């Protein structure tokens, strides 16, 4: 008997960087960072682990490439904004939302300094900072403050959702558990943390994120 075309949704194409990256993203989204293994990837692509190495150098590169695919999409979608400030806000929020949806992108960005995905963000922000008329000798400091803030908050946010998923909780319950820990800290040593514990589960991270961006933009 000849093999029927029992394609399960997808045609039988040969392996390629794109197909590998696409499958990696699916795996990362569904099973998190630890879900991306060459064996799981090989099974999903109906091949052996060795085949993947023909198209990709190592796991680090694979993760950076998957991260770049998400960031590239995000940058294309967040082109809106009439003024430079609005454009910066739009990029920042785009990244925030992308990392919220794909937590693994947060740590991938942190572990690939100076690489393509980070450069895409850097460039976009840099062009807007220039458009705002920031003098040349202050552009670097401004852009790097913004970039670091964006990557920092998004990374922390991703860590939260990732930890929550790891423990099988939703975000609210996870933050609630931390708030509970905080409220039981020593009142003498940790007065501030205790006092804001209640705000942790209810406050809007996204709103505070934009507030921080504005804080930096206004400081110029």
Partner DNA sequence: ACCTGAACACCGTTCAAGT
- Selection from a second copy, DNA, none that 36 binds (CB < 5 to 8 A by kind) is DNA
Nearer to DNA, 40 or 90 (CB): 40
Near DNA in 7-36, by CB under 7 A: 14-15, 36
Cβ closest to DNA, residue 29 vs residue 97: 29
- 83 burial type by CB count under 10 A (0-12 exposed, 13-18 middle, 19+ buried): exposed
Residue 96 contacts by C-beta under 8 Å, 6 or more apart in sequence? 150, 153, 154, 157, 206, 209
| 54-93 positions binding a second copy, by CB under 8 A | none
Neighbours of 17 (CB within 10 A): 11
Neighbours of 50 (CB within 10 A): 9
Of the candidates 39, 111, 167, 206, which one interacts with a second copy according to CB under 8 A? 111
Q: Which does 8 bind (CB under 5 to 8 A by kind): DNA, a second copy, none?
A: none
User: Within the chain, where are the H helices?
Assistant: 17-31, 38-44, 49-55, 59-77, 84-101, 103-110, 116-131, 136-166, 171-183, 191-196, 205-218
> Which phi and psi angles does 40 have, rounded to 5°?
-65, -40
Q: Which stretch binds DNA (CB under 7 A): 57-65, 166-174, 183-191, 196-204?
A: 57-65
Which residue, 48 or 198, is less far from DNA as judged by CB? 48
- Applying the rule CB under 8 A, the residues between 176 and 205 that interact with a second copy are 178, 181-182, 185, 189-193, 196, 199-200, 203
140 in contact with a second copy (CB under 8 A)? yes
Q: What is the distance between the alpha carbons of residues 187 and 61, in angstroms, rounded to a whole number?
A: 47
Q: Which is nearer to a second copy, 65 or 151 (CB)?
A: 151
Taking the complex as a whole, the smallest distance from the CB of residue 103 to a second copy amounts, in Å, to 11
Of 10-18, 80-88, 89-97, 153-161, the window that binds a second copy (rule: CB under 8 A) is 153-161
């Amino acid at each position: 008997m000849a093999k029927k075309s029992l394609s399960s949704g997808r045609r039988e194409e040969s392996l390629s960087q794109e197909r590998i990256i696409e499958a990696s993203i699916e795996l990362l989204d569904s099973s998190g960072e630890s879900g991306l293994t060459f064996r799981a990837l090989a099974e999903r692509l109906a091949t052996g682990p060795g085949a993947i190495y023909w198209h990709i150098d190592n796991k680090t590169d694979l993760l950076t490439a998957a991260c770049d695919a998400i960031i590239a999409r995000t940058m294309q979608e967040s082109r809106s904004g009439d003024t430079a400030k609005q454009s910066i806000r739009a990029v920042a929020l785009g990244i925030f939302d992308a990392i919220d949806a794909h937590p693994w992108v947060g740590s991938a960005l942190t572990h690939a300094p100076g690489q393509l995905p980070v450069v895409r963000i850097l460039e976009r922000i840099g062009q807007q900072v220039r458009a705002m008329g920031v003098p040349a000798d202050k552009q670097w400091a401004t852009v790097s403050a913004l970039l670091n803030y964006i990557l920092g908050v998004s990374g922390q946010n991703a860590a939260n959702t990732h930890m929550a998923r790891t423990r099988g909780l939703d975000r609210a319950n996870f933050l609630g558990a931390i708030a509970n820990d905080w409220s039981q800290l020593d009142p003498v040593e940790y007065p501030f943390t205790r006092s804001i514990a209640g705000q942790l589960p209810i406050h809007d991270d996204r709103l505070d994120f934009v507030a921080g961006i504005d804080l930096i933009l206004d400081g110029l």
